[in-house]
Amino acid sequence: MQNWFTCKVKYQKEDEHGRVKNVTETYLADALSFTEAEAKIYEEIGQRVMGEFQVTSIAKSKIVDVFEYSGGDVFYQAKISYMVGDADSGKEKKVTNLMIVHADDIKMAWERIHESLNNMLVTFVVPEIKESPVLEVFHHVKTGEERIPDHLTPVAELETEEDEQDI
């Protein structure tokens, strides 16, 4: 499961007329904790921004999924709603999730959300799409330090073994 954090960064940026102004930009980071999200933002923004910058806020995001496509200039936030049965009460319950998608405009965002969710087993509706302030998404990257313990086998290796046995 992914944990998305909304991170705001403030720094001075030169505009097209050569004037320096303060800007605050929003980024989305996939991290295991607030600390990891902050470290990721400092690492990524430090490579992009010349001079000083400040991470002004980090908040747990309500976004549950991100759909990135090439050829999209803006992230759009889409609200997705669907009904699921509650096993305890037997009644249907409305579930609403937030997702973001890369697109050029709202129409393209709507199309890409539907394309991305076409394998959902329940019928969903998209009651709202709006431009998101998120400029970029930073994904969780496994480091070389993370290794599988000796007594466990990676799923990919098990699947390969099963494929070879089927032949």
| Domains of the chain, earliest start first | 1-61 (3.10.20), 62-132 (no CATH)
Percent pLDDT > 90 in the chain is 63
Tell me the percentage of the chain whose pLDDT exceeds 70: 84
Running DSSP on this structure, what letter comes out for residue 105? S
pLDDT of 142 strictly over 70: no
- Mean pLDDT (whole number) for 105-125: 92
Residue 160 has pLDDT above 80, yes or no: no
pLDDT score for 63: 96
150 pLDDT more than 80: no
Task: Report pTM.
Answer: 0.78
Spell out the alpha helix ranges (H) of 9-154: 34-48, 106-116
DSSP 16: T
pLDDT at res. 106: 94
When pLDDT is averaged across residues 81-87 and rounded to a whole number, the result is: 87
CA count, 13 A, side-chain hemisphere, 161: 6
Mean pLDDT for the stretch of residues 3-8: 96
pLDDT value of position 133: 96
Radius of gyration of the chain (CA): 20
167 has a pLDDT exceeding 70? no
Mean pLDDT score of the chain, rounded to an integer?
Answer: 87
Query: Of all helices (H) and strands (E), which one includes residue 83?
Result: strand 74-85
Please give the pLDDT value at position 64.
95
For 16-166, where are the alpha helices, taking DSSP H only? Answer: 34-48, 106-116, 155-166
Query: What is the distance between the alpha carbons of residues 134 and 7, in angstroms, rounded to a whole number?
Result: 9
Residue 59 has pLDDT above 80, yes or no: yes
pLDDT for residue 86: 79
H helices present in 11-133, as ranges: 34-48, 106-116
